[in-house]
């Protein structure tokens, strides 16, 4: 790990804050206000103003302990990037609807209607992360000119119902109902999906950064649990354990390089690739960390339990694995036929 790029003093402070609250966020499925204030004080919600790499650095550092907390920073940053402005506070990204997430346009029921100077949003969304914390909601809604992004300030016309999911707990993923919520246009009519994709590409890279954080945590758990002497040798002296460490370290190095390279371009194929590779790495790493702890790795609400549950979600959120595979394949074929 290059100390200066990923783990400077700022990242260490974010990691330390996350470590103090990680178990509570997971158990309560909610990030306490004190934690959000601490992250705000450290500038986590302004990192996006310094570019994608700064966001990814924060996401990786926080994910060593609490991917659910890192997700709050990531979704806020993706929303800001999609609309091209940071309204302050925390922003929620509200695209997916109960009718389907992957095929968003086929099911877009939420609509915006002009009202005076602004608009009114009506419809139902699901899996809107950050909803319990948000000062603003970035909503994809249909208009007579096609889908568009709207920014709705929190109001009593926005009803939030947090979901009780098995992983990324505390990310605030919620069912959200908009009942004529006042909003303003945050992009160009007809270009809503294209604008949202800028944020989604950062989101996918962010999922890879969450995976890097989980791999970091796994390696440090394996190194320390591996000091235990079993049958006369330390666990880390067994080749079976060493090869597991090497596999995780190799894949982590490759993913780290891909994420660094893609942070500058937000290339959609590279971002989708990083996300799928990251999900596999995180699942492998979480499983290995749990295994080396033996029975102790099975404790309810433990760090390794959280890693296993959180890594599971990486194959579904920000686009299901299969959908990204289809996308990567079609772009690859197109480039081969060009
Ligand atoms: C923790 C979490 C946070 C989220 N945060 C947000 C958020 O902040 N904002 C937001 O708008 N959305 C958010 N989402 C929604 C997320 O983007 C969707 O869950 C995702 O896009 C998948 O959509 P879906 O769940 O509706 O699955 P569906 O589209 O119904 O797909 C179901 C399953 O079908 C399979 N499948 C789909 N297409 C294919 C195919 N072509 N070939 C083979 N199999 C296929 C996949 O395995 C997929 O998992 C979040 C989800 C989670 C879990």
pLDDT of 4-61, one tens digit each?
789 999 999 999 999 999 999 999 999 999 999 999 999 999 999 999 999 999 999 9
| HSE of 330, CA atoms in CB hemisphere, 13 A | 7
**Cβ–Cβ < 8 Å for 113, 122:** yes
Its sign, for the CA torsion 150, 325, 69, 255, is: negative
**Cβ–Cβ < 8 Å for 271, 205:** yes
Nearest to 64 by CA among 226, 206, 174, 211: 211
Confidence tier at 122 by pLDDT (50, 70, 90)? very high
The pLDDT of residue 3 is above 70: no
**Cβ–Cβ < 8 Å for 83, 304:** no
Q: Give the Å distance between the CA of 49 and the centre of ligand 1.
A: 28
Report which protein residue has its CA nearest ligand 1's atom 13: 127
Mutate to test the pocket of ligand 1, among 70, 93, 317, 321 (most ligand atoms within 8 A of CB): 317
* Predicted confidence (pLDDT) per residue in 225-274, tens digit: 999 999 999 999 999 999 999 999 999 999 999 999 999 999 999 999 99
pLDDT of 127 reads: 97
Q: Give the Å distance between the CA of 8 and the centre of ligand 1.
A: 34
Q: How far apart are the first and last CA of the chain?
A: 38
Residues in the chain: 338
pLDDT of 2 reads: 52
Number of C-beta neighbours around residue 224 at 10 A: 12
Q: Give the Å distance between the CA of 268 and the centre of ligand 1.
A: 17
Measure the CA–CA gap between 315 and 287, rounded to whole angstroms: 15
Its sign, for the CA torsion 19, 23, 29, 31, is: negative
Q: Give the Å distance between the CA of 103 and the centre of ligand 1.
A: 9
Measure the CA–CA gap between 62 and 56, rounded to whole angstroms: 10
DSSP summary character for residue 235: G
- Read off φ and ψ for residue 182, nearest 5 degrees: -65, 140
Instruction: Please give the structure tokens belonging to residue 65.
Output: 């302990």
Measure the CA–CA gap between 330 and 338, rounded to whole angstroms: 12
CB of 140 shorter than 6 A to ligand 1: no
CB of 107 shorter than 6 A to ligand 1: no
**Cβ–Cβ < 8 Å for 143, 112:** yes
- Read off φ and ψ for residue 337, nearest 5 degrees: -85, -15
Q: Is 242 helix (H, G, I), strand (E, B) or coil?
A: helix
**Cβ–Cβ < 8 Å for 188, 222:** no
CB of 165 shorter than 6 A to ligand 1: yes
CB of 137 shorter than 6 A to ligand 1: no
Measure the CA–CA gap between 192 and 11, rounded to whole angstroms: 33
Q: Give the Å distance between the CA of 313 and the centre of ligand 1.
A: 10
Mutate to test the pocket of ligand 1, among 127, 168, 306 (most ligand atoms within 8 A of CB): 127
Q: Specify which residues 197 forms β-bridges with.
A: none
Q: Give the Å distance between the CA of 220 and the centre of ligand 1.
A: 31
Measure the CA–CA gap between 285 and 297, rounded to whole angstroms: 13
Report which protein residue has its CA nearest ligand 1's atom 29: 102
Confidence tier at 338 by pLDDT (50, 70, 90)? confident
Number of C-beta neighbours around residue 325 at 10 A: 13
Strand 118-128 with 158-162, pairing: unpaired
Measure the CA–CA gap between 330 and 327, rounded to whole angstroms: 5
pLDDT of 111 reads: 97
* Predicted confidence (pLDDT) per residue in 76-87, tens digit: 999 999 999 999
Write the burial class of residue 257 (CB in 10 Å: 0-12 exposed, 13-18 middle, 19+ buried).
Answer: exposed
Q: Which residues contact 90 (CB under 8 A, 6 or more apart)?
A: 36, 45, 72, 76, 130, 133, 134, 135, 136
Report which protein residue has its CA nearest ligand 1's atom 23: 101
Share of the chain above pLDDT 90, in %: 93
């Amino acid at each position: 790990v290059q100390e200066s790029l990923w783990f400077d003093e700022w990242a260490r402070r974010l990691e330390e804050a996350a470590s103090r609250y990680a178990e509570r966020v997971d158990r309560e499925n909610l990030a306490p206000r004190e934690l959000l204030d601490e992250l705000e004080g450290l500038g986590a919600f302004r990192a996006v103003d310094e570019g994608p790499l700064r966001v990814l650095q924060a996401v990786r550092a926080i994910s060593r302990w609490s991917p659910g907390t890192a997700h709050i920073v990531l979704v806020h940053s993706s929303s800001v990037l999609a609309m091209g402005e940071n309204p302050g506070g925390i922003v929620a990204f509200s695209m997916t609807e109960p009718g389907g997430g992957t095929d968003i346009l086929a099911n877009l029921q939420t609509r915006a209607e002009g009202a005076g100077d602004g608009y009114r949003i009506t419809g139902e969304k699901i899996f809107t992360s950050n909803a319990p914390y948000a000062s603003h909601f970035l909503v994809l809604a249909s208009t007579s000119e096609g889908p568009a992004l709207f920014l709705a300030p929190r109001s009593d016309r926005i009803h939030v119902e947090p979901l009780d999911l098995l992983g990324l707990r505390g990310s605030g993923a919620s069912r959200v109902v908009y009942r004529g919520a006042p909003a303003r246009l945050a992009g160009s009519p007809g270009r809503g999906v294209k604008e949202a994709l800028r944020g989604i590409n950062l989101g996918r890279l962010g999922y890879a950064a969450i995976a890097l954080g989980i791999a970091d945590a796994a390696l440090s758990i394996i190194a320390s649990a591996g000091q235990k002497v079993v049958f006369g040798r330390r666990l880390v002296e067994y080749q079976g354990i060493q090869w597991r460490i090497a596999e995780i370290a190799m894949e982590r190095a490759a993913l780290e390089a891909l994420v660094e390279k893609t942070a500058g371009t937000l290339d959609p194929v590279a971002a989708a690739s990083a996300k799928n590779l990251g999900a596999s790495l995180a699942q492998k790493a979480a499983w290995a960390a749990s295994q080396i702890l033996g029975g102790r790795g099975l404790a309810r609400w433990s760090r390794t339990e959280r890693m296993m549950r959180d890594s599971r979600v990486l194959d579904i959120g920000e686009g299901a694995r299969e959908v990204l595979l289809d996308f990567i394949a079609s772009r690859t074929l197109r480039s081969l036929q060009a």
